[in-house]
Amino acid sequence: MKIVVTGATGFLGSHVVRALVDRGDDVFAVARPTSDRRRLRATTKFTWLVADFATNAGRTQIAEVEADVCIHAAWCTEPGRYLTSLANIDLMAASLHLAQELSLRGCRRFVGIGTCFEYDTEVGYLSEATRIAPEHLYSATKAGTYLALRQVGANTGMQLAWARLFYLFGPDEHPSRLVASVARSLLRGEPARCTPGKQVRDYLHVADAASALAEIAHCDVTDAVNVGSGQPVTVEAIVRTLGDLSGRPDLVELGALTYGHREPMFVCANVQKLRAYTPWKPRWSLRDGLADALDAWRRSFADADAHRES
């Protein structure tokens, strides 16, 4: 199957490319001219497509591939910026224009990437039937893109699957995200300062999320579909596990930070729809996945030390 992946050099997109390549798909990985391609340097058997989906010319380039499926993973996700960035508005508009261009070129299926924060997070376990109640510009534009894409699909016949992701972690994630920031502190022998950690979350290894997206691309599920583990875990348990795995549980400082403003205390996915339409199962247990993320940062530090000494 010919599949085009936007945001292919990103944390999630790079894993999606690898998952599709492993399936034997004909993959076109979209990257802007200035994108850092290091996350895919060890992966072969795909085609680079240098284009920016936020421009008219870039969208035309992507559409001219005449792909069967598009997995649209490009968006602004930089911690500390993405929730309120006005770039979300431009990305919403560009995403809708991209879908329109693709539909005109015969793309039969569009897999968009949403977020669990489109939902009313006061509910607890979140299913696709949970009401939408975004509280940030990021989640609002994601929800708006989803609603508009439903109409694009209805008017053009192009199928829409909207994958709402929960909490991801794993190799190559941004260093300020929870697992990465705690792992880096512990490996450096520094205190890992955290909240009390009573928040309950749904964490999934990014490679498992990518394999779920590959399954969604190949099946006939439509509309919203949750992508998560379906297993609630406290932030405290995650942080303590990283402390144990690193051999530095003494450096974990729970309660050193306060909870964020209006931070939800329980967010977990109901994944019955995903399991009903696909054979997907996660490969990584939480502990093994955290060990993998920790090992990735350990290798990164070792490579940096070797580079300085050379």
User: pLDDT tens digit string along 128-170?
Assistant: 999 999 999 999 999 999 999 999 999 999 999 999 999 999 9
Look at residue 220 and tell me if it is in a domain. yes
CATH number of the domain that 186 lies in?
3.90.25.10
For the beta sheet containing 26-31, the strands, ordered from the edge strand earlier in sequence to the opposite edge, are 47-50, 26-31, 2-6, 69-72, 109-115, 159-165, 223-227
Beta-carbon contacts of residue 74 (< 8 Å; ≥ 6 apart): 6, 7, 10, 13, 30, 53, 91
189 and 95 belong to one structural domain: no
What is the pTM assigned to this prediction?
0.95
pLDDT recorded at residue 78: 85
Look at residue 273 and tell me if it is in a domain. no
Domain hosting residue 247, numbered range: 172-201+231-265+285-309
CA–CA separation, 123 vs 135, rounded Å? 14
80 and 120 belong to one structural domain: yes
pLDDT recorded at residue 241: 98
CA–CA separation, 73 vs 86, rounded Å? 18
152 and 240 belong to one structural domain: no
Q: Which residues pair with 119 in a beta bridge?
A: 132
Residue numbers in the chain where pLDDT is lower than 70 = 305-310
9 and 138 belong to one structural domain: yes
260 and 115 belong to one structural domain: no
CA–CA separation, 84 vs 2, rounded Å? 35
pLDDT recorded at residue 305: 65
Give the residue from 83, 134, 288 showing the smallest Cα distance to 205. Answer: 288
Summarised one tens digit per residue, pLDDT across range 279-295 is 999 999 999 999 999 99
61 and 196 belong to one structural domain: no
Look at residue 279 and tell me if it is in a domain. no
Q: Tell me 260's DSSP state.
A: P
Whether the Cβ atoms of residue 137 and residue 83 lie closer than 8 Å to each other: yes
User: Three-state SS for 64?
Assistant: coil
72 and 221 belong to one structural domain: yes
Which regions of the chain does DSSP assign to beta strands (E)?
2-6, 26-31, 47-50, 69-72, 109-115, 125-126, 159-165, 167-169, 192-194, 200-201, 203-205, 223-227, 233-234, 252-254, 268-269
pLDDT recorded at residue 302: 83
Q: Residues 150, 156, 161, 162: is their CA dihedral positive or negative?
A: negative
pLDDT recorded at residue 73: 98
Residue 244: Cβ within 10 Å count: 14
CA–CA separation, 233 vs 203, rounded Å? 8
Give the residue from 305, 209, 276, 194 showing the smallest Cα distance to 242. Answer: 194
pLDDT recorded at residue 176: 94
215 and 289 belong to one structural domain: no
pLDDT recorded at residue 220: 95
Structure tokens at 294: 């920790």
How many domains are there within the chain? 2
